[in-house]
Amino acid sequence: MPEGPEVHRAADRIRRYLAGQVAEEVWFAFEHLQAWADELSGQPVEGVEARGKAFLIRFQQVAIYVHLQLYGRWELRRPSSRDPVTRRSLRLRVVTPKGRALLYSASEIEVLDREDEAEHPYLCKLGPDVLQTGLVAAAIQERYLSQRFRRRSLGALLLDQSFLGGVGNYLRSEILFEAGLPPRARPADLDAFQAKELARATLTICRRAYQTGGITNDPERVVDLEGQGYKRRALRWSVFGRAGAPCWVCGAEIMRSEVGGRRLYRCPICQPASDRSPAGST
């Protein structure tokens, strides 16, 4: 499933095609949304937002809500180009003078007014978007240490969209490595320096993933590895997906485990177990 950085990058691309343009055509595959197709066709698109792992295509009174889930995919085409040849099912099409935004395979599509947004089961529970403009590390640190979240294990907390919207599985492993913390550590157990570093790492890794298109490894290390002939897939992450490979920092073997039903990767040396987590555990 795409995580926050990928959703934001997709929203940036869609925005260039749609925002400020008149929607010459809006088409939905789902029958219960057909009435909205005529309603929205001919209206200007006011903006495109990323909210956690969801999109909002805004019109004057309503917004089209899209969650990609596991298989959803956006394709963008210029006015003169053909639609892609694919076996995927087209679910939404928005056409403007600049081109077409085509959504394939996603099944979670709704049209929401402002009141619907406030009560939407995903949007209303969503924490601050980790990539929202103006979000600073101090605010993230305060959230980690709040009564609501401070006693949760980091391995579970970082996947909770009510904590921070947009953080997903690869970001979780990479944030914990950057912060030098094991997944069983809790914000309540951290000293002041560790808490500050955790907040910094959360913001740094998510912004880095957004800026680079999903590369979270240290930028200087990436340049060095590219010079050695490493391909993007091999150098992209510090620990995620690298079970059995040597840690880029200390050479220890990267470990894989399951936390919250999803795979997690860590370096046993760079992320030493806390007092609450026996050595060698996750």
Q: How would you class 199 by CB atoms within 10 Å of its CB: exposed for 0-12, middle for 13-18, buried for 19 or more?
A: buried
User: What are 165's strand-pairing partners?
Assistant: 129
CA dist 109 and 240 (Å) reads 31
The tens digit of pLDDT for each residue in 170-191 reads: 999 999 999 999 999 999 999 9
Where in the sequence numbering do the catalytic residues fall? 2-3, 53, 262
The tens digit of pLDDT for each residue in 37-89 reads: 999 999 999 999 999 999 999 999 999 999 998 889 999 999 989 999 999 99
Q: What is the pTM of this model?
A: 0.92
Report the 3 state secondary structure along 223-262.
HHHHHCCCCHHHHCCCCCCCCCCECCCCCCECEEEEECCE
Hey, is 41 helix, strand or coil? coil
Can you tell me the mean pLDDT for 143-172?
97
Domains of the chain (ranges, CATH numbers) = 4-125 (3.20.190.10), 137-266 (1.10.8.50)
pLDDT at 276: 47
Q: How would you class 90 by CB atoms within 10 Å of its CB: exposed for 0-12, middle for 13-18, buried for 19 or more?
A: middle
CA dist 276 and 235 (Å) reads 32
DSSP state of 29: S
pLDDT at 2: 83
Residue 137: closest CA among 210, 196, 51? 196
The tens digit of pLDDT for each residue in 126-141 reads: 999 999 999 999 999 9
Instruction: Name the residue type at position 180.
Output: G
